[in-house]
Amino acid sequence: MYEGLQASLLNALIKGGYEELTLAAHEYLKLPVMITDADYNCLAHIPDEPLGDSLWDTIHENGRPSLQFIQILNDENIMQTGALQRAPFYLNWGSFSINPRIVGNIFIDDAIAGYLAVPCASCNEELLEKAGLICQALTIEFQRRNIKAGNIPDAWSMFLSRLMHGKIREPDELKQWLRHLNRKIKGDFCVVAAQPAEGAAEKPLLPFIQKSIERIDPGLHPVIFDDSIYLLIMNHATNQECLDQLDSVTSALSSLGLRFGISNRFSDILQIEIYRDQALYALLDCLKTSDAKVQYYSGCALKQLFGTVVQNLPEQSYMHPALNMLEVYDQKNGTDYLRTLSAYIVSMCNSLETVRELHIHRNTLPYRLDVIERITGINLSDPRTCAHLLCSFYIREYS
């Protein structure tokens, strides 16, 4: 059964090449045939022309689908469903309800190394069996060309991945890696964490985003870790150099619809885990803000610090009692002493700035501060008291 197809595929394998196999499948099936690798990069397709099929035409024109289309496949659960199929199947739902196709996974070592796509208006068991034979021949060709399933990183990318995962901890191990790579890392560092703007960094999407980043800037070497993509920015001697490079990176990647969290600068690369976590915290804070594209950890460090305090201590242990006393007094007497104290303390006891903030006469502020001291029994000349008050106001703001 299907001796003619088997003979055509065997002859194509003898000649070698994806084009020969694609041509053999096309001539036997009398249908369009496309072969891609696991990242949907086109290896061969016949006919070499648009078909009025959105996915086919995009790959024909650009060599691969857009990230937006991959996101649609993920949202429609097509990627997840397809990954479970050992035999070719007919894809005729979701975005493919108008332009259905047979899809076959090309497996190597139980992992998907590529795909066969055969657009067709209808399908039957016989056609699916023929597609299965074609996938078997493609598996041989993939193995012969040493095409591996998934991404095989170069040595530098592997080093960065191990570093970001916290698997390089000792100075001697770091020196061995750098000696092997024949590279030096100098200057200060910074970690960038990124996720899609929607905040739903579903794992099937991340490899495609990773590949897109590599195409935009081959020097970035993105690393996937815990549902986020991380970039290590290095070799900047000054803070301004760091900011300039970060601005350049986030601008270059803006077309991917990502949000970014950025760690503090650091000089000891073996402490990267600390700054990786800083970048992630900044990213998560960024995702909570609808109009924010980038968040620096320096802008949310206090939020994390005080959030930890709130989670682990009762309010009576960290909040200065003067705040509650003034709140009760204001409610009872219709005054505004709590807001006055907040403006004064947050301005670092700057009287001129406080007067401007509250829109009051400059002689009014000393009077109010004197009343506040009498109500609460505090001394605003005491630095520790002011520090405690400042922390308390920040905690109120962030919680």
**Residue 203: pLDDT band by 50, 70, 90 thresholds?**
low
- The answer, yes or no, to whether residue 202 has pLDDT greater than 70, is no
How far is Cα 84 from Cα 101, in angstroms, rounded to an integer?
17
| 352-366 pLDDT per residue, tens | 999 999 999 999 999
Strands 294-296, 258-262: pairing kind = parallel
Same domain, 164 and 206: yes
Task: Tell me the range of 54-68, 115-129, 252-266 where mean pLDDT is highest.
Answer: 115-129
pLDDT given at position 197: 77
Q: In the predicted model, what is the mean pLDDT of residues 166-170?
A: 89
Angle at 98 between CA 97 and CA 104, to 5 degrees: 60
Same domain, 244 and 323: no
Q: Which amino acid is at 32?
A: P
Q: In the predicted model, what is the mean pLDDT of residues 191-205?
A: 73
Integer-rounded Cα radius of gyration of the chain: 30
Chosen domain end from 144, 172, 189: 144
The count of domains in the chain is: 3
Q: Are 193 and 283 in contact (CB under 8 A)?
A: yes
Residue 177 lies inside a defined structural domain of this protein: yes
Domain that holds residue 385: 308-398
Residue 234 lies inside a defined structural domain of this protein: yes
How far is Cα 83 from Cα 202, in angstroms, rounded to an integer?
15
pLDDT given at position 281: 95
CB within 8 Å of 229: residues ≥ 6 apart: 193, 194, 195, 206, 209, 210, 213, 222, 223, 258
- The answer, yes or no, to whether residue 70 has pLDDT greater than 80, is no
Residue 51 lies inside a defined structural domain of this protein: yes
Same domain, 220 and 321: no
Lowest mean pLDDT among 202-206, 276-280, 287-291: 202-206
Chosen domain end from 299, 334, 352: 299
Q: Are 224 and 100 in contact (CB under 8 A)?
A: no
pLDDT > 70: what percent of the chain? Answer: 95
Same domain, 316 and 295: no
- Tell me, yes or no, if the pTM score tops 0.85: no
* Per-residue tokens: 354: 């406080």
**Residue 208: pLDDT band by 50, 70, 90 thresholds?**
confident
Same domain, 280 and 186: yes
Residue 150 lies inside a defined structural domain of this protein: no
Chosen domain end from 238, 271, 299: 299
CATH at 355: 1.10.10.2840
* Per-residue tokens: 295: 């968040």
**Residue 151: pLDDT band by 50, 70, 90 thresholds?**
very low
Q: Are 283 and 191 in contact (CB under 8 A)?
A: no
| 97-119 pLDDT per residue, tens | 999 999 999 988 777 888 999 99
- The answer, yes or no, to whether residue 240 has pLDDT greater than 90, is no
Same domain, 186 and 231: yes
Same domain, 164 and 287: yes
Same domain, 140 and 159: no
* Per-residue tokens: 4: 């003619």
What rounded mean pLDDT belongs to the chain?
88
Lowest mean pLDDT among 195-204, 313-322, 340-349, 370-379: 195-204
pLDDT > 90: what percent of the chain? Answer: 53
Residue 194 lies inside a defined structural domain of this protein: yes
